[in-house]
Structure 1
Amino acid sequence: MILNKHLVRRHFAHAAADYEALATLQNQVGQEMIERLDLLKIDPQMLLDLGAGTGLQSRRLNRRFPRARVLAVDLALPMLQEARRRKSWRQRQWYLQADAERLPLRDQSLQMVFSNFVLQWLPDPLPALRELRRVLQPEGLILCSSLGPDSLRELRQAFRSVDEEPHVHDFLDMHDLGDAMVQAGFADPVLDVERYELHYDDLDTLLRDLRGIGAGNSQPRRGLFTPRKLQRLRSAYEEFRTPDGKLPLQYEVVHAHAWRAADRPSGELQPLQFIPRRRN
């Protein structure tokens, strides 16, 4: 998958002011990720919220670990400016604009990395995962979520009736993410999938919400998206309208966590653990 990182940054920068109000799924999944910490024994003193956005999860992590320092990192500076504005004066947070593939942090300086809906914005998660392993201390935890390949299925199919340009990203499969975590040097990865469905009254609102959270198309494409193409897209999407009159949009969310493995001899593999997919 080819992604333009400058477009990714620009889309999220433009979305900063309204992001938290519109990012319903991101907020729900972030809360569920923090609840998963109940099953994991960790009390970090320094943790990283990668792709912190407007800082909602950073604030939640601060409440979860009140003695910890939370480093909020994002590619888009306006997101971090909004996060700083929303932070309570009592919370211990620091802000850093940085690329996930090149973090200006010391080796083994963190005990935990939290990353909600970031990996799908990378053409290949492996370089970022290796960088996260570098900054984690041995036995440090990575807890992350990403979109799976069934996400935005209806939108992807409707766009196929419009033209052959790439309009919806190809998201990483759970098994590929698990393999990348092992390659990056994480031990005992555990992965599972949850499915969600949002509903809209019309396509224009659906597209406006996607743009409003920065989820615009960051792939190179040719030509303009004309009003005629938009009308064709509206017509194609009508095939998915539910009996109660709503337009659905499905998301496949991959959850993963793993521990930073100690350095091992080259070629030694770690096992993967996949939890069966849940059916809603």
Structure 2
Amino acid sequence: MPPVPARRRVRESFDRAAASYDEAAIVQRRVCQLLLDQFRSSAMPDSILDAGCGTGYGIGLLRQRWPAAEILAIDFAPAMLAAARQGADLCIAADIEALPCRDASCNIWWSNLTVQWCDPVAVCREAHRVLRPHGELALSTLGPATFAELRESFASIDQHRHTIGFSEPEAIAAALRHAGFAGVRLHRQTVSQHYPDLASLLRAVKDIGANSVGDGARSGMLGRRAWQSVQAAYERHRTSDGLPARYDVILAYAKK
């Protein structure tokens, strides 16, 4: 598994981004819809846990599909959680690696683009614990090709970390099976968002709070010449739509 950034730094990043998140989270919303579209469930759940709910966009989709279900929203960033309160039945500020929930307390455990910030083994173990027998899991996370162009462009000037590490699909499947899940099903696809220039791309990443990369990050600002070198390297990836930010999306489904 790739190293996980310090929890406090990640929480602080997402807290700061709460006000700008909804406007910038274009890819996150697309992936949320993909996660629901691929969720082949015939269940009529009475309890759903949204693990890492952010500002609550997923809650609205879940409510449309299962209007009678009680939705518990959990996020460790209080400012994000405050924005989600409007749609959920109950909101709790907590870490999804250590859920403050009873064993076998929900029918569906759902998480959209949160697991990449966590230890997948711990997350899957907790998901299995809180699900009822025959309960279902649906999660989206990011694979190692995410932001490949960004890493390649910065590699031209330094060896610092400029993105977090992302898990291979096989590692996510293994974490689910190790936790006790059965019927594990994975779907992988690329989702791209285009920007007019590199500054806009990096600003969008910061506006969703995804700019904490953990140990090994560059501590100082880039000089003008280094910045121009990174820009020139990224320009080689330009398409007619602009500069791409590529997301290697992994959708995972399983049953307890």
Q: TM-score, normalised by structure 1?
A: 0.86
3-state SS of 2:19 partner: coil
Q: Match of 1:237, as an amino acid?
A: Y
Aligned: 1:189 with 2:198: no
Match of 1:53, as an amino acid? G
For residue 62 of structure 1, give the secondary structure of its aligned residue in structure 2: helix
Contiguous gaps of at least 5 residues in structure 2: none
Structure 1 runs (4+) deviating above 4 angstroms are none
| Amino acid corresponding to residue 15 of structure 1 in structure 2 | A
Partner SS for 2:236? helix
1:209-251 per-residue CA deviation (whole Å, 9 max, x = no partner) reads 0000111033113531323333332222122122x27211211
Distance 2:207 2:223 in 1: 20
- 1:112-169 deviation digits (Å, cap 9, x = unpaired): 11100011111x3101110111111111000000001111110011111121111112
CA RMSD of aligned residues (A): 1.4
Q: C-alpha separation between the residues in 1 aligned to 2:147 and 2:58? A: 24
1:43 alignment partner in structure 2: 44
Q: Does 1:239 align with 2:236?
A: yes
Contact 1:68 1:92 in 2 (8 A): no
SS of structure 1 residue aligned to 2:38: helix
Gaps of 5+ in 1: 261-280
Opposite residue 10 of structure 1, the aligned amino acid is: E
Q: In 1, Cα distance between the equivalents of 2:33 and 2:146?
A: 20
Structure 2 distance, partners of 1:4, 1:131, is 19
Q: How far apart are residue 259 of structure 1 and its match?
A: 0.4
Matches within 5 A, 1:1-280: 1-37=3-39, 39-84=40-85, 87=86, 93-122=89-118, 124-221=119-216, 223-228=219-224, 229-242=226-239, 244=240, 246-260=242-256
- Secondary structure in 1 matching 2:107: strand
User: Do 1:2 and 1:220's aligned partners in 2 also have CA atoms closer than 8 Å?
Assistant: no
Tell me the equivalent position of 1:278: none
Equivalent AA in structure 2 for residue 9 of structure 1: R
Question: Residue 142 of structure 1: SS of its match in structure 2?
Answer: strand
- Aligned length, in residue pairs: 252
Larger CA Rg, structure 1 vs 2: 1
CA contact under 8 A between 1:108 and 1:137: conserved in structure 2? yes
Q: Is the 8 A contact 2:161 2:213 kept in 1?
A: no
Residue type at the aligned position of 2:183: D
Which segment drifts farther, 1-10 or 94-103? 1-10
Equivalent pair of 2:73/2:88 in contact (CA under 8 Å): no
Give me the whole-angstrom Cα distance separating, in 1, the residues matched to 2:19 and 2:116: 22
Shift of 1:184: 0.9
Shift of 1:35: 2.2
Deviations 1:29-50 (A, max 9, x none): 111222233x212111111011
